[in-house]
Structure 1
Amino acid sequence: MKIKIVILLSLFGVVSSFAQNTLDITVKDSHSDEPLIGVTAVLEALEKGAISDENGNIHMENIPNGTYKLLLSYLGYAPIETTFTFPLSQQSQGQTFAMVPQTEEMEEITLVSTRSTRTIEDIPTRVEVIAGEELSEKGNMKPGDIRMLLNESTGIRTQQTSATSYNSSIRIQGLDGKYTQLLRDGFPLYSGFASGLSLMQIAPLDLKQVEVIKGSSSTLYGGGAIAGLVNLISKTPEDTPELSFMANATSALGLDLSGFYSQKFDKVGTTVFASYNLGTPYDPADIGLTAIPEFDRVTLNPKLYWYLDEQTELLLGVNAIWEDRLGGNMEYVEGENVTDPYFESNETERFSTQLGFKHSFNDQNRIEVKNSFSFYDRIIAVPDFTFSGYQRSSFSELNYSKNSDNEMEWVFGANLWTEYFNDTREIESEALDQSYQIFGLFAQNVWPIDETLSLETGFRADFHSDYGAMALPRLSVLYEPSQALTFRLGGGMGYKTPTVFTEDAERVQFRNVLPIDIDQTDLERSIGGNFDINYKWIPFPGVTMSLNTLLFYTKIDDPMVLELDNGGYYTFYQPDGYVDTRGAEVNLKVKYGDFKLFTGYTHANVKQHQDGVVTDFPLVAKHRLNNVLMYEKEEKFWVGLEAYYYSPQQLSTGGTGQSYWIMGLMSEKKFGENFSIFLNFENFLDTRQTRFDQIYTGSLNDPQFLDIYAPVDGFVVNGGVKIKI
């Protein structure tokens, strides 16, 4: 009997020495005391980890006896390191840890477009931000322009308007590109005639982030943002200097070279961006027309920041672009002698200034003055026709903001927008001259009613030199019952000044386009709203998921339509009717270890209602899928697989385009902090419209181009290096 007892005691001692323990803790925000979902907890010595659930709880099992270091980490918060000795005492089990927001990391998602001190999670207006690694990854695909940054986002499409010169516009939720407002640091530098080649002439290397607001955003930026606005936010000088270079080459014989320098001194700071982009004529379909035109572009953007004191800052900046672009008959573009060739030539010069002055009276009160002048010259030439003109525009603004963490936030301001275009052709009867001024007064308020409910209201009164006064109200509501669940509801009104500079006029190079009769037209007016639900959860340990669903509707009354008359001229008129878009966007994000999956679905049902007849708006894919699977070892390398689906699209001829998939493979390998190489296989299925449909009818010397609804450049490989010094 004694022997049995000794054996049992020995076995109990062995089991005790390998005892398995559990750890239960809770993580919360140190400021709001709300639980944090998605915090990563790691016992490094054991390579054991867990993620906090929607209640901020972290549970870990099978922990052997001993002393181990626990690391808690979460984006935007200072990490916490602590030590536990197992078995735990009764006081150690069930501890609550308060994580402190870290300003340096939160700056990446602090919004600029809303003029609020609130971050993206706390603002009632729905804003999408492309920043950080996501911006860098998408910028690798097309370092010469920003089309890839936008085209891969749910609900946004860059629509190619020319088969041979690559001109493109931005469509949000299926609406025409003229209803999207493109800004640079809040300055409307790309409007009117200057919008035709804007997407092709903006390189992403000096961008800090891209902010997208879908739906009417009229309060701060005017009525033109009917479908939404895209605000390109530039990098600013930091205490740590930056000198970076990027070189990229493509299998289509394209070349992109760009450099960026930034440094902040005691009283001054500066940023300088310069790039050179070269395109070689490329015809993957071997049909004799350029899918990628020949182009040569130089960009120079220097900025000077003067810090007069801790509360006052002055900005002086210049943006300059020179480009020659030639597409059309391949042999002609390559320099051979061709009889009666078709070609499309674009020569552009863009020069704009930026002036900004900010002064903070204290932590809550600030005044800001902004001004820009833009000079844009462009010559478009096709056989037997040349369109040329210059645009002079300006933007001036004065605003005052009162911000507080716990009270109402106010923004009051006034701005003046002037637009002048001079058609330099000799035929005065067809001259598309245009000139107008818009003076606006605006006010915006953000009211945090309680910890779960915030209200944002805005009102703008615009006074148009040609069309009179407009009142534009806007409302957004944020309800956040928990950190895991958020509701947003918003809506507003907008308008668009009738202009000849549209996608339809761009497609015909403004040939035989007649000017708009101001006396016979009115403003295009819009009303719209959206409802947004965002939910985050942990389906099982190690996996975090977030689901965002957006329902939207926008109606535009009296839309301008371009119609070909019996005399061969194009006339703008406003039929009795409207255009509306309704639909949904769904975004799913899944993270498991080093894997990330992004899936987006867009349903856009855009209809034209004219004289009692309802038709589908052309060149809109009612169903679209965005899928990206990423594998990333932080600061080492990443590789991603993309797959995009476009459903059949209604064509302007009455026919229907074919559905298609586009797939790509992208990768980047980092060697330390200062050097990396990237390699991308864009559209490796070689999806091209020329493989399953025509892009023109008639002869090669006189092509009549059809709608471009699918890529024309096909499979392209690009790769290069990035260097930081």
Structure 2
Amino acid sequence: MKQNILLMLSLIGFQTAFSQVEQDSIPSSIEDDTLDEIVISGTMKPVLRSESLVPVEVYTPTFFKKNPTSNVFEALQIVNGVRPQVNCSVCNTGDIHINGLEGPYTFVLIDGMPIVSGLSTVYGLSGIPNSLIERVEVVKGPASSLYGSEAVGGLINIITKNPKNASLFSADVFGTSWGEVNTDVGLSTKVGEKAHLLMGVNYFNYSNPIDKNNDNFTDLTLQDRISVFQKWNFSRKSNKLFTIAGRYFYEDRWGGEMDWNKSYRGGDEVYGESIYTNRYELMGTYELPFAEKMFFSFSYADHDQNSVYGNTPYMAKQQVGFGQLTWDKKLGKHDMLFGAAFRYTSYDDNTPATNEKDVTTMPGFFAQDEISLNTKHSILLGARYDYNNNHGSIFTPRVAYRYKANTGDVLRLNAGTGFRVVNLFTEDHAALSGSRDVIVLEDLKPEKSYNVNLSYLKQWYFGSNVLQLEASTWYTYFTNAILPDYDTNPNQIIYDNLNGHATSKGISANVDLILGNGLKFIVGGTLMDVSTEEEGVKQRQMLTERFSGTWAVSYTIPSINLDIDYTGNLYGPMRLPLVSEWDPRPEYSETYSIQNIQLTYKGFKNFQIYGGVKNLLNWTPSKNVPFLISRSNDPFDKNVQFDPNGNAMRTPDNPYGLVFDPSYVYAANQGIRTFLGVRYNF
């Protein structure tokens, strides 16, 4: 049967185009899931995913709604090879691991801008309104040749909606049996003749202290958070792009002993970790009024953190400014991109390590050339030069090759280098929460990495069914690796350039199966080995699993307007930081799985009701361990005796020679709970 279809093509950096075509009808359940998406993160150019020489994974709100969450950090738990890591049992600070590499190796962007970086990586991954997200693009492997420092392990680019295409009004509200309440509201409207506005507000509140493992500490950090986002698109006579966006974020979070309140803030009577965060962001893109495709993009973020960890105050301020000019030029078989960027970072806090404001400037230049040899073979050559005022010149090249037999049969090979300049203020949180001191043994040199990645994408269509396989293997070699050493001295976290090398290698596969009967499977698995080798001794990296898996199984029953979603993940054992040689807790975590189920009723116009159960197996990291937080009964170490070297001594009151330490954690200590929510979209 023939039908007329109106196609809308919307690319980042371009105005929306429409075209009407006639084609055989396609079952909507398949069409929605198998379109060749537009991606931009791999090469900074909007291209079809099958055309990108760099493998880019795309996740839409439809995917994340299978397991509704209050923020992007939690939403990523069902993405294969990506693991949200909780780093503190008390304040629940977290970061995102990609293919086993720690959070500082992951670069988080909003609309291509380095908004979430530095100080904001500790708590700033919360509060990005889910209702404003168009899609999330994930690139696994180094991207430093385009994006600079921090993009060593991979990048996550959060693409916000175009105000012209967004719903006029949307609302999403849900609550859980733990007392969490999340509200997302979005509004899109035309302002005058030349402007479109997209506005969103996210409010999250959790004010119900719970202590299921009976250690007198909150299992989950209490939070009161609001985030307001605006994005403006302006129409120009030339039809060129001009967009500006801004966000304000405020959060009051605390965790600690169950009887803590704000009257104890900063004192040593009752232990609590209390963090106030004020954050402003501004970003935009302006297409220059020339015949050539030239764009100027900019962003600015101001972050103010007022926090206390027990009786230790931590007051920090950071400003990050970024500007970038790009020139997109096609010449015959060459599709080129040239760019110049400048990044300014100012940081100051009240700690002895920062006697004066730390200012880092980093101008950079990059170029890439995508050469189409013929319809099946393409290569990409790219390089970036940066100058860091503290570390000097840094050069990062890369090369890529793509063989495309057809849209559903693509082989890609990528190789390149990366670099990372450590930002200890984002990584010394463990020194504030607990008794470990951060020690920097020398001036840290930039970390260098060398990476090779081979990926293969294959699609099969049979009848009304679709099967897609995407597999990859990678190898990354690090020199001057900068890793926290928890083992040498249990009272310290030592940062030093590794006198040896580190490696990350593994294989990963995703399988998508869409059946015409309404059943869909998204299943992924990763096997990896992340380790260091120093003076001939190989050691597995801390807090890194050997294997992991994720899945999302969905079934639609049209006759009763019901969707059923079953999602989950599985992680293998990880090496955990112990406090002393007598610490009775296991050195490795157990294999664990978080599983969720959801029912969504869509029988009303523009209105949905959804609910279900999270963490069906009621798993928490406190299971099968004698305690999760070390010395939770003495969080200020008032009854700990120390030897002349500063090490805790074994005493009748402290038989294991421990100190207070909440870093023995890797996931949220939150058990089974129900949830119920409603969505409205107009």
Structure 1 length-normalised TM: 0.81
Once the two structures are superposed, what CA deviation does each residue of 1:220-254 show, in whole Å capped at 9, x if it has no partner? Answer: 21132000000111111116752111111111101
3-state secondary structure, aligned to 2:260 = helix
Once the two structures are superposed, what CA deviation does each residue of 1:579-631 show, in whole Å capped at 9, x if it has no partner? Answer: 21100101111121200111111112100122332100011111112122110
Is the aligned partner of 1:580 residue 2:513? Answer: no
Q: Cα offset for 1:78?
A: 7.2
Larger radius of gyration: 1
- Cα distance 1:423–1:306, how it changes in 2: closer, same or farther (>3 A)? same
CA contact (8 A) 1:294 1:325 kept: yes
Q: Cα offset for 1:682?
A: 1.0
3-state secondary structure, aligned to 2:184 = strand
3-state secondary structure, aligned to 1:689 = coil
Match of residue 722, structure 1, among 657, 679, 682: 679
Is the aligned partner of 1:192 residue 2:118? Answer: yes
Mean CA deviation greater in 337-346 or 695-704 = 337-346
Mean CA deviation greater in 199-208 or 223-232 = 199-208
Alpha-carbon distance between aligned partners in 1 of 2:329 and 2:466, rounded to the nearest angstrom: 37
* 1:465-476 pair list within 5 angstroms: 465-476=389-400
Match of residue 551, structure 1, among 447, 467, 473: 473
* 1:238-257 pair list within 5 angstroms: 238=164, 242-257=168-183
- Cα distance 1:80–1:659, how it changes in 2: closer, same or farther (>3 A)? same
CA contact (8 A) 2:116 2:124 kept: yes
The corresponding residue for 1:324 is 252
RMSD of Structure 2 on Structure 1 (CA)? 3.1
The corresponding residue for 1:172 is 98
Alpha-carbon distance between aligned partners in 1 of 2:663 and 2:303, rounded to the nearest angstrom: 29
- Cα distance 1:571–1:704, how it changes in 2: closer, same or farther (>3 A)? closer
- Cα distance 1:275–1:239, how it changes in 2: closer, same or farther (>3 A)? closer
- Cα distance 1:610–1:294, how it changes in 2: closer, same or farther (>3 A)? same
CA contact (8 A) 2:216 2:632 kept: no
The corresponding residue for 2:670 is 713
1:457 alignment partner AA:
L
Match of residue 161, structure 1, among 80, 87, 93: 87
Q: Cα offset for 1:295?
A: 1.2
- Cα distance 1:708–1:512, how it changes in 2: closer, same or farther (>3 A)? closer
Once the two structures are superposed, what CA deviation does each residue of 1:15-52 show, in whole Å capped at 9, x if it has no partner? Answer: xxxxxxxxxxxxxxxxxxxxxxxxxxxxxxxxxxxxxx
Mean CA deviation greater in 286-295 or 508-517 = 508-517
Using CA pairs under 8 Å that are at least 6 residues apart, name the structure with larger relative contact order, 1 or 2. Answer: 2
Once the two structures are superposed, what CA deviation does each residue of 1:82-118 show, in whole Å capped at 9, x if it has no partner? Answer: 79xxxxxxxxxxxxx9xxxx99x96953435532242
CA contact (8 A) 1:505 1:562 kept: no
The corresponding residue for 2:654 is none
Is the aligned partner of 1:393 residue 2:312? Answer: no
Calculate percent identity across the aligned residue pairs.
Answer: 21
3-state secondary structure, aligned to 2:163 = coil
Mean CA deviation greater in 600-609 or 70-79 = 70-79
1:292 alignment partner AA:
L
Alpha-carbon distance between aligned partners in 1 of 2:358 and 2:268, rounded to the nearest angstrom: 37
Flag structure 2 segments of 5+ consecutive residues without an equivalent. Answer: 9-18, 579-585, 636-659
Q: Cα offset for 1:491?
A: 1.6
The corresponding residue for 1:208 is 134
Q: Cα offset for 1:74?
A: 13
The corresponding residue for 2:308 is 381
The corresponding residue for 1:637 is 562
3-state secondary structure, aligned to 1:308 = coil
Is the aligned partner of 1:603 residue 2:527? Answer: yes
3-state secondary structure, aligned to 2:498 = coil
Q: Which runs of 4+ in 1 moved over 6 A?
A: 70-79, 334-339, 564-567
Structure 2 length-normalised TM: 0.85
2:526 alignment partner AA:
T
* 1:6-45 pair list within 5 angstroms: none
Q: Cα offset for 1:165?
A: 1.7
CA contact (8 A) 2:36 2:49 kept: no
2:171 alignment partner AA:
F
2:365 alignment partner AA:
L
Flag structure 1 segments of 5+ consecutive residues without an equivalent. Answer: 1-68, 84-96
CA contact (8 A) 2:77 2:569 kept: no
Alpha-carbon distance between aligned partners in 2 of 1:568 and 1:662, rounded to the nearest angstrom: 32
Is the aligned partner of 1:228 residue 2:154? Answer: yes
The corresponding residue for 1:290 is 218
The corresponding residue for 2:278 is 349
Is the aligned partner of 1:530 residue 2:453? Answer: yes
Alpha-carbon distance between aligned partners in 1 of 2:407 and 2:301, rounded to the nearest angstrom: 44
Q: Cα offset for 1:80?
A: 4.7
Mean CA deviation greater in 252-261 or 687-696 = 687-696
The corresponding residue for 1:125 is 54
Once the two structures are superposed, what CA deviation does each residue of 1:101-142 show, in whole Å capped at 9, x if it has no partner? Answer: x99x9695343553224211111110001125214434xx21
Q: Cα offset for 1:445?
A: 1.8
Q: Cα offset for 1:633?
A: 4.9
Alpha-carbon distance between aligned partners in 2 of 1:459 and 1:147, rounded to the nearest angstrom: 31
CA contact (8 A) 2:620 2:670 kept: yes
* 1:683-702 pair list within 5 angstroms: 683-693=615-625, 694-702=627-635
The corresponding residue for 1:500 is 424
CA contact (8 A) 1:380 1:509 kept: no
- Cα distance 1:706–1:569, how it changes in 2: closer, same or farther (>3 A)? closer
CA contact (8 A) 1:155 1:585 kept: yes
Alpha-carbon distance between aligned partners in 2 of 1:512 and 1:82, rounded to the nearest angstrom: 65
Alpha-carbon distance between aligned partners in 1 of 2:20 and 2:434, rounded to the nearest angstrom: 56
The corresponding residue for 1:458 is 382
The corresponding residue for 1:482 is 406
- Cα distance 1:478–1:567, how it changes in 2: closer, same or farther (>3 A)? closer
- Cα distance 1:673–1:238, how it changes in 2: closer, same or farther (>3 A)? farther
